Amino acid sequence: MLQDKIFRLKGKVQHYAWGGFEFIPHWLGIPNTGHKPFAEYWMGAHPSASSDIVTPNGSLSLNELIKGFPEITIGNNVQQKFGELPYLFKILDVHEMLSIQVHPTKEEAIKGFEEEEAKGIPVGAATRNYKDKNHKPEVMVALSEFWLLHGFLQQESLKKVLQSVPEFEKFVSLFKNDDYKKLYQHVMEMSQNEVNALLTPLVHRELQRKKDNELTKDQPGWWVTKLFEHQTSVENIDRGIFSVYFFNIVKANPGEAIFQGAGIPHAYLEGQNVELMANSDNVLRGGLTPKHIDVPELLKHTTFKGVAPNIMMGEQMKPGEKNYSCPVDDFGISKIELKQSQTYSGTASSLEIIVAIDGEMQISGTNNLSIKRGETAAILCGETYNISTPSSVMAYKAFVP
């Protein structure tokens, strides 16, 4: 069936409203004549937007190909363990802030999915929390300066915030015994009128500070003003603003990575990244979104403790390859960076996807393929291959460890 083992992969663009307009089209080398937001570029076999592999006889859906020939595409081990390609690889351009979210553990996802099935809630319903039975750990590597929220501030830092923001002084007693849950539950369960009354003066004050050039991106106020600076009035305030003050604001520089496991509340704020995640749509939202927020379900799965964000620089595995260690079986990610005289060799332990961020590369094995910036290769399980470059290349590789 498949004589070749190395294929060009055509991903799928997702035009979500929060996406940017230039980065992904420019990277792909295509025009954006309709001025649409290009939010994500998906590389994988997700049934809702499977990539295609390009063969001499035309294009094939990667999802269909894996279903038909699991042993030669993803390999028997991965097929037995996961029954599918267990990861989804993406390029993101975050122009507007994404919703605050928490992902469940695998056990909780199975339980939640089965409960909602039993209640007869359609999978596509807006009020549905669990779209599948999988957990959704994810790792991101920054392609630009990238800003995100990640986990609660540690105790002393959060106490300082509660004491220094006038509107939050009334919460100091709630957090007396470092009770993260009590504090977060309180603000998440407040009525919309209470939220508006409490946060309106805060929003106006931050907008004024932005006008006076008193804010920088490492301050919560910067992101609050990003929500409101193009609006004519301050009303129906999103309670996600509390999280902007209560969570760590993290800056990742290009090549730096951060892993988000089950239970860690997080939100992408701005920038471009490479993201790799388990093949799942299970998201429990906590604000900065018009979408469904199920507070009891969110509280059930949130990790209520202070977190020191672990920014990974990547570990040199062999010349030209840095690995970002992720504590999951579903996926692994490494960065491949080569200069003209350097080569890299590997053997695909399952289906591997390699995306060229910059430069170009020649992949040689059973067959040969050249890919350049904005292009992607899929390498079938078991294939041994070499990579070289005519000048230089920087790429990211997704694999199953």
Catalytic residues: 285
- C-alpha span between 40 and 38 (Å, rounded): 6
In eight-state DSSP terms, residue 265 is -
DSSP annotation of 180 reads H
Is residue 156 helix, strand or coil?
helix
Q: Which residues contact 100 (CB under 8 A, 6 or more apart)?
A: 149, 240, 243, 247, 265, 266, 267, 285, 286, 287, 288, 289
CA separation for the pair 125, 70 (Å, rounded) = 31
Distances in Å between the alpha carbon of 379 and those of 7, 164, 346, 398? 6, 54, 10, 10
The tokens for 219 are 């301050």
Alpha-carbon distances of 117 from 47, 102, 113, 297, 298, rounded to whole Å: 19, 21, 6, 16, 19
Residue type, 216: T
Query: Residue 361 is encoded by which pair of tokens?
Result: 């590369």
Largest Cα separation within the chain, whole Å, is 68
Distance CA 152, CA 303 (A): 9
Cβ atoms of 377 and 354 within 8 Å: the answer is yes
Q: In Å, what is the CA distance from 125 to each residue of 122, 130, 290, 291, 292? A: 5, 10, 15, 11, 10
CA pair distance 150, 168, nearest whole angstrom: 20
